[in-house]
Structure 1
Amino acid sequence: MSSSLLYAEGISCGHFSHIFLDEAGQVSEPETMVTISNLCQKETVVVLAGDPKQLGPVVYSRDATMYGLGKSYIERLFECKYHAHEDSNFVTKLVNNYRCHPTILHLPSELFSEGELVACQGDTSSTKSWLGLLPHKEFPILFVGIQGCDEREGFNPSWFNRIEASKVVNLITKLRTISDLREVDIGVITPYRQQVVKITNALESKGLNGIKVGSVEQFQGQEKEVIIISTVRSTLRHNEHDKTYSLGFLSNPRRFNVAVTRAKSLLLVVGNPHIIIKDLYWNKLLRYCEYNSSYQGCPLPDREHDIVEYLEPEHKN
């Protein structure tokens, strides 16, 4: 938006031969047009860099979303012929991923990028120090199943789960004991503001003030060595309530995609497997962990309750 200041200072259209818009998938189309309309001529090359399959613009008005303002310009371009067919004259796909451990990257790559992402992370030896936590050091994803109780205070639309919050704090305490992780290396993602508050307060009571706890939106574009996800919900009866307030993980593939790709070396998920299986993407993650013997906690639901066929991983430890 501040690019309008260039125009106000007398920078004319055509002054720049190229304009690059970074994180173009997160910005609304009108905001994108502030730059393009003020500074571009027909000959100007505009490069939009971003992922239309991750979270888009944050729009609070349901009317605005209904009329298309929740869709970024880069996402809308992919509805056009040349971009939709990934014509190399218009689309360059960046497939090398330098963030995630190959095991963490595998499922998002299959689900959102047709298996094209290439894990280029360097040293992954740090997983050796987590043998006291992981069943297999080569599979740095762990799903911890908890059938807790989701609560809310008064008419606050946000939920929290005390049992999950306690488990998250216990996992962090154990990680800090068995490894040389710093507080800034750990991040906690949860979709509800009240759960953020509960976990933050519990960590501060233990003197752990440097661990970031926040929503998926607050973590987009960021990365941590270790990410812990608290899914919170233990019942389905309020699912429509969550949709009304744009809360939760279920039925939001983009929120899932961002959440599970913030971890560089270790991904821990705390949640109720009986709720998770109701969502196509979370179900696949749960079964991915089960297949690799990296599930702990309450009994798993039978496969007959799955809503989709399981995506078979490439390997099993």
Structure 2
Amino acid sequence: MAEEPNKGQGLIDLVFSWSLADVLNKDLYKGKVYLIPKTFSSTKDYMKSFIYPLIEETHADLFSSIEMVARAPTREILTVEPTKGFPKILRYNIILERMEDTANNYEECMSLRYARMLNLEEALFERLVLLGHKRHLLSIQYRMHPSISMFPNREFYDNMISDGPNVKERTYERRFLQGSMYGSYSFINVSYGQEDFDNRHSTKNMVEVAVAADIVARLFKESKASKQKVRIGCISPYKAQVFALEQKFGKTYITDANSHFSVSVRSVDGFQGGEEDVIIISTVRCNVRGSVGFLSNRQRANVALTRARHCLWILGNGATLINSGSVWKKLVVDAKARGCFYDANDDKNLAQAVGGALVELNQLDTLLKPGSFLFSNTRWKVRFGNDFRKSMTRIKNIEIRKKVLSLLQNLLSGLHQNQKNKVLNMNGTSSQLLEVHKVNKFLNLIWSIDIVREHSTDIQVIKVWDILPLAKIPKIAEHFEAVFGNYTVDKMNHCKCRRLEGYASCIFFCHNFLPNLFINCHDLEVKLDVF
């Protein structure tokens, strides 16, 4: 340094007193800071060539600030001086820390050895207890609805905390969405989730992101319609999941808590001390091993589960959490015992959100397998031909894939709008049985009613054959002349029989052929004595 601080002048004051010319004067701090190159093409080049010309001086408590200092965009921590006020147990030598070069991308880092050395795993109040300070437990909570506080109170506080009179009031129970799934407390099982890892090896689950986004979108719609002020918090223990949620929401929602509708997305640690009307927790982990990593940390679980005022909705894979043997196993078991365990696929909107996410993840096999959740609650059962599966795989446009699945859901719900007369200008059996629905101006869905036997029962099903351009349909119709030519007259008539309930087409067989008939459209069951 070419200049020394005056008496009473802090070093930081001196640094900030430098002009730009001083900063660019390499002789002023020769050997301390490398000269910034005139051109650089990436952050990596910049970080390799430059060390910030700033030395920070602070009197802040070591344990309240050291982690922020260690994660700040600095190249080195030179020294930390203990003060006379610190007990001996808190005095440590600070090792040199540099930013980590991970695949040529500089990232802030703080080694585990460094964290253990400073006891950073322990909260400030835990350290005070270890130093002999008496523990004081607040005995009344005024934040959470009793159904929310029940589990954490029992699990973390041995039922020593009472619910305040305000949260026991009937008016404190608020319903923001219709359905028992969206009561004050629920675990929403997202069984078709998929773990992924970002470039920093943090875990994310895009299916849970889609579910959370759908719930928030409906909350926004209901809030706007009812003019009800709602504050939402989305919490996840993983930074990659927090980032994925932020990207999904974009700038759709305001983050200002004073607005009519606000959404705050943060990590569990970032939400410590915070609270919102509705909290949605995304637990992320989804694997057969029951591996949940630091999700099993009881302190983080305690923080996450105690942030909600009126509604707490937990998203997770129930099987994974049960297999983990952690506190989350107890939570899932408790939710089932209390009747608060729900399956995301039982909600039509959430099922569509899950389906859309799986399409984006290229998991078509999951969606098109027999008994797929996407079509489990429809009026009609479905069978997919191999040609249809191959055509869906060849379609790379995500939106077209989603449109096909949406069209299938309408068909299986009974919304049959026959368009074959517009495209099948030919005679024959295929023109009687083959159906055509337009997907877009280029592609058409080819399907028919078929008869299959399941467990000694013959039922009508929708058979989806293929997705084809208009020009190829006459050729495929000729092919099906041979297929349908093997049908008996009775089977042909059974395939053509329909019954309407309102605007929906239901499974139906003609009484002329089948005197002993039992029809249950909702159970999709048709029992026959004979064809």
Quick check: TM above 0.5? yes
Contact 1:226/1:267 (8 A) holds in 2: yes
Question: C-alpha separation between the residues in 1 aligned to 2:145 and 2:66?
Answer: 33
- Inter-CA distance 150–29: structure 2 relative to 1 (3 Å threshold): closer
> Which residue does 2:197 correspond to in 1?
152
For residue 230 of structure 1, the aligned residue among 269, 277, 282 is: 282
Structure-to-structure mapping, 1:209-288, within 5 angstroms: 209-210=254-255, 211-235=263-287, 239=291, 243=293, 248-249=294-295, 251-277=296-322, 278-288=324-334
Contact 2:233/2:276 (8 A) holds in 1: yes
* 1:189 maps to 2:240: no
Contact 1:146/1:164 (8 A) holds in 2: yes
Structure-to-structure mapping, 1:47-196, within 5 angstroms: 60-67=110-117, 69-70=119-120, 71-72=122-123, 74-79=125-130, 90-120=134-164, 122=166, 123=169, 125=171, 127-130=173-176, 132-135=178-181, 137=183, 140-147=184-191, 148-153=193-198, 155-179=199-223, 180-182=227-229, 185-196=231-242
1:237 deviation in Å? 5.7
- Inter-CA distance 91–257: structure 2 relative to 1 (3 Å threshold): closer
1:196 deviation in Å? 1.5
**Cα deviation digits, residues 106-154 of structure 1 (max 9, x gap):** 21111111211111162552534346133585xx11111112111124x
Unaligned runs of 5+ in 2: 1-7, 10-60, 69-80, 88-108, 256-262, 346-531
- Inter-CA distance 177–290: structure 2 relative to 1 (3 Å threshold): farther
- Inter-CA distance 228–149: structure 2 relative to 1 (3 Å threshold): same
**Cα deviation digits, residues 276-306 of structure 1 (max 9, x gap):** 111431122212221222221179xxxxxxx
Structure 1: which 4+ aligned runs deviate by more than 6 Å?
A: 28-31
Q: Could you say what secondary structure the match of 1:160 adopts?
A: strand
Question: C-alpha separation between the residues in 2 aligned to 1:136 and 1:145?
Answer: 13
Greater displacement, 220-229 / 287-296: 287-296
**Cα deviation digits, residues 47-87 of structure 1 (max 9, x gap):** xxxxxxxxxxxx9431133335222453134346x65xxxx
Contact 2:195/2:204 (8 A) holds in 1: yes
Question: C-alpha separation between the residues in 2 aligned to 1:92 and 1:238?
Answer: 36
Unaligned runs of 5+ in 1: 1-7, 10-23, 41-58, 84-89, 300-317
> Which residue does 2:28 correspond to in 1?
none
> Which residue does 2:477 correspond to in 1?
none
Q: Could you say what secondary structure the match of 1:103 adopts?
A: helix
Question: C-alpha separation between the residues in 2 aligned to 1:208 and 1:30?
Answer: 31
Question: C-alpha separation between the residues in 1 aligned to 2:143 and 2:83?
Answer: 31
Q: Could you say what secondary structure the match of 2:303 adopts?
A: helix
Contact 2:145/2:173 (8 A) holds in 1: no
Contact 2:233/2:280 (8 A) holds in 1: yes
Structure-to-structure mapping, 1:290-301, within 5 angstroms: 290-297=336-343
Question: C-alpha separation between the residues in 2 aligned to 1:174 and 1:214?
Answer: 20
Question: C-alpha separation between the residues in 1 aligned to 2:86 and 2:297?
Answer: 35
- Inter-CA distance 112–288: structure 2 relative to 1 (3 Å threshold): same
Amino acid at match of 2:315: V
The number of equivalent residue pairs is 239
> Which residue does 2:467 correspond to in 1?
none
Percent pairwise identity: 26
- Inter-CA distance 100–274: structure 2 relative to 1 (3 Å threshold): same
- Inter-CA distance 29–107: structure 2 relative to 1 (3 Å threshold): farther
Contact 2:140/2:162 (8 A) holds in 1: yes
- Inter-CA distance 254–159: structure 2 relative to 1 (3 Å threshold): same
Amino acid at match of 1:194: A
1:177 deviation in Å? 3.3
Question: C-alpha separation between the residues in 1 aligned to 2:149 and 2:290?
Answer: 31
Higher RCO (CA-CA < 8 Å; seq separation 6+): 1
Question: C-alpha separation between the residues in 1 aligned to 2:344 and 2:218?
Answer: 20
Question: C-alpha separation between the residues in 2 aligned to 1:149 and 1:136?
Answer: 24
Superposed CA RMSD in Å reads: 3.5
Question: C-alpha separation between the residues in 1 aligned to 2:318 and 2:181?
Answer: 19
Amino acid at match of 1:229: I
Report which of the two has the higher share of strand. Answer: 2
Q: Could you say what secondary structure the match of 1:157 adopts?
A: coil
Question: C-alpha separation between the residues in 2 aligned to 1:172 and 1:91?
Answer: 39
- Inter-CA distance 191–30: structure 2 relative to 1 (3 Å threshold): closer
Question: C-alpha separation between the residues in 2 aligned to 1:280 and 1:286?
Answer: 10
1:96 deviation in Å? 1.4
Question: C-alpha separation between the residues in 1 aligned to 2:241 and 2:222?
Answer: 26
Question: C-alpha separation between the residues in 1 aligned to 2:315 and 2:204?
Answer: 13
Contact 1:28/1:72 (8 A) holds in 2: no
- Inter-CA distance 162–254: structure 2 relative to 1 (3 Å threshold): same
Structure with higher Rg: it is 2
- Inter-CA distance 143–193: structure 2 relative to 1 (3 Å threshold): same
Q: Could you say what secondary structure the match of 1:264 adopts?
A: strand
- Inter-CA distance 35–115: structure 2 relative to 1 (3 Å threshold): farther
